[in-house]
Amino acid sequence: MPQAHRLDCEKEAADCRFIVQSEDESEAIELARNHMREVHGQEFTDDDLRHEHMETV
Ligand SMILES: [Zn+2]
């Protein structure tokens, strides 16, 4: 099974159930970054997302 890169926004924001999951890390990061900016008004760098917020499953 290939690994998938995943952001579970519910861990970051209790009222949000958004989940990003993709086998393509750059795609997962882009989707997560867009979501954080558009929905939560927060800017994260790719490195922040990769190291602090995302997990591989
Ligand atoms: Zn969210």
pLDDT in tens, 5-31: 999 998 767 789 999 999 999 999 999
What whole-number distance in Å separates Cα of residue 39 and Cα of residue 19?
13
CA of 42 to the centre of ligand 1 (A): 10
Neighbours of ion ligand 1 (CB under 5 A): 9, 13, 16, 18, 39
Distance in Å, CA 14 to ligand 1 centroid: 9
**How far apart, in whole angstroms, are the C-alpha atoms of residue 56 and residue 38?**
24
Q: In the predicted model, is pLDDT for residue 51 greater than 70?
A: yes
Number of Cβ within 10 Å of residue 22's Cβ equals 16
